[in-house]
Amino acid sequence: MAPSSLVNQVTNQLQPYPMEELAKIRSKLQADGKPVYDFGTGDPRIPLWPVLNETLKASLTEVSQYPRAKGSEELIDSIYKYLFERFAIERSDDLDVMATRGSKEAVFHAALSVAGRSGKNTIIFPDPGYPVYASSAKFAGAKAYPVALKVDNGYKLEPWSLPNDVQEDAAAVWVNYPHNPTGAEVDESYWLQLIDWAHKRDCVIFSDDCYVDIYQSDLSDSLPQTPLVYSRDRVVSFFSLSKRSGMTGFRSGFMAGDARFMKAHARARANMGIGTPEFIQAVASVAWSDQAHVAERRKVFSSRIALAYPRLKRLGLMDSPPRAAFYLWCRVPPSYNGDDLKFCLGLAERGVITSPSRWLSLDTKGYFRMALVPTEQDTEVALDILTRYVEESQ
Ligand SMILES: Cc1ncc(COP(=O)(O)O)c(C=O)c1O
């Protein structure tokens, strides 16, 4: 698109949001009357736990008032209870929590508070990764520093390996495990090393934990963790009801972390117009207090992975199944010479929408992401189409 003189350089240089491109492809297929199997956007259409909608209806009021930006007492209590039951994180003076309108806005606005802190102006983030880490850094006037994640070290972001001047200037580092799009996870030793590095370098760790409750149903120990389990000092974690409770449309989550950051950032957030409506807070409070509906959702994703992974492995597109999140990160067949866009557009013409790695990354080519969003029945049909498509190219 031609640059507009009515907006600044940051807005002019933004790439179209990848999900908007996928929506265009979907609309075209639908307009042509073709069946569409959409594995593009990570927004599973699984019916909500009915209690959530019932709570919503019961919470509507005749008089509407501004909500508290931080969240109601009831919601804050449910959040602390969740943190304790899931992670054994206890309430204490060095920890603070606040409601957010989902992770996206919280991720975006966090950059505004760290850019330039203590004379540091670099924000480090994973690539491939959630696009808002980069865009928010740019809007905040910070230096956006992507780190290419590699399969060889399990897609770990290791800031201690970066050039010294980048480490010194790092105001914050984003991490996201379980990771979108690769499904990668990290263990305790990684968290401890990252925290140790952040303390030595005086860098804030922003941990995007929106997939922390989405893991394979049969995992009983070594569940994904948040770095807050290991330290509160300079650690801030972002949680969301979007994936764990399927509440993408409600826009609800919370931040938890180092009270020194949280209290100061709360003053900034009071200016941003992002208070969560009270009827949404009431639903959120119920959602954080219940773990059974989350276990049900995990079963759905686990059975979708069990269905899709063996077929993708047989096609030579994957080597091991993800233990967490609901994405399959697949190689494109060798005959495409790493051209993920060509592969995905060809597949989309046959009605199966996936995300090419170059839309999710500055650096990674030759992969595509399948969000396990469609039903098992539709996934079977789509895998048949994918199998024929791959076999024809060999
Ligand atoms: C890694 C990651 N972070 C944040 C988000 C935003 O989630 P929310 O719906 O809570 O804004 C997503 C959504 O897909 C995501 O994949």
Q: Is residue 124 part of a domain?
A: yes
What does the pLDDT read at residue 265?
98
If one counts the domains in the chain, the total is: 2
Report yes or no on 52 lying in a domain. Answer: no
pTM over 0.85: yes
- Crossing angle of helices 278-289 and 50-59, rounded to 10°: 150
Question: Is ligand 1 within 6 A of the CB of residue 240?
Answer: yes
Report the chain (394 residues): mean pLDDT per 10 consecutive residues. Answer: 91 81 83 92 91 98 93 97 98 97 98 98 97 97 97 96 98 98 96 98 98 91 95 98 97 98 96 94 98 96 96 96 95 96 92 93 93 95 97 87
Question: What pLDDT, on the 0 to 100 scale, is given for residue 302?
Answer: 96
42 lines ligand 1 (CB under 6 A): yes
Task: Name the β-bridge partners of 247.
Answer: none
Same domain, 191 and 329: no
pLDDT of residue 383: 97
Determine whether the shortest distance from the Cβ of 109 to ligand 1 is under 6 A: no
- Do 221 and 277 lie in one domain? The reply is yes
What residue's CA is closest to ligand 1, atom 7?
A: 103
How far is it, in rounded angstroms, from Cα 274 to Cα 110? Answer: 13
143 and 278 assigned to the same domain? yes
Last residue of a domain, one of 290, 309, 343: 290
Contact 314, 108 (CB under 8 A): no
CATH number of the domain where residue 361 is located: 3.90.1150.10
Mutate to test the pocket of ligand 1, among 39, 43, 103, 274 (most ligand atoms within 8 A of CB): 103
Identify the pLDDT of residue 45. 87
Torsions phi, psi of 391, nearest 5?
Answer: -65, -35
Are residues 214 and 268 both part of a single domain? yes
In a shared domain, residues 178 and 267: yes
Q: Is the CB of 167 under 6 A from ligand 1?
A: no
3-class secondary-structure state, position 127: strand
Its domain, for residue 345, covers 9-47+293-392
Own/partner pairs for 299-308, CB < 8 Å, 24+ apart? Answer: 299/217, 300/44, 300/46, 301/44, 301/214, 301/326, 301/372, 302/216, 302/217, 302/218, 303/376, 304/372, 304/376, 304/379, 305/216, 305/372, 307/376, 307/379, 307/380, 307/383, 308/370, 308/372, 308/379, 308/383
**258 in contact with ligand 1, CB cutoff 6 A:** no
Q: Which of 290, 314, 346 is the last residue of a domain?
A: 290
Q: Is the CB of 208 under 6 A from ligand 1?
A: yes
In this structure, the answer to whether residues 141 and 281 fall within a common structural domain is: yes
**Is the beta carbon of 181 within 6 A of some atom in ligand 1?**
no
Based on the fold, state whether residues 156 and 221 are members of the same structural domain.
yes
**What is the CATH number for 257?**
3.40.640.10
Ligand 1 pocket mutation pick from 100, 108, 180 by most atoms within 8 angstroms of CB: 180
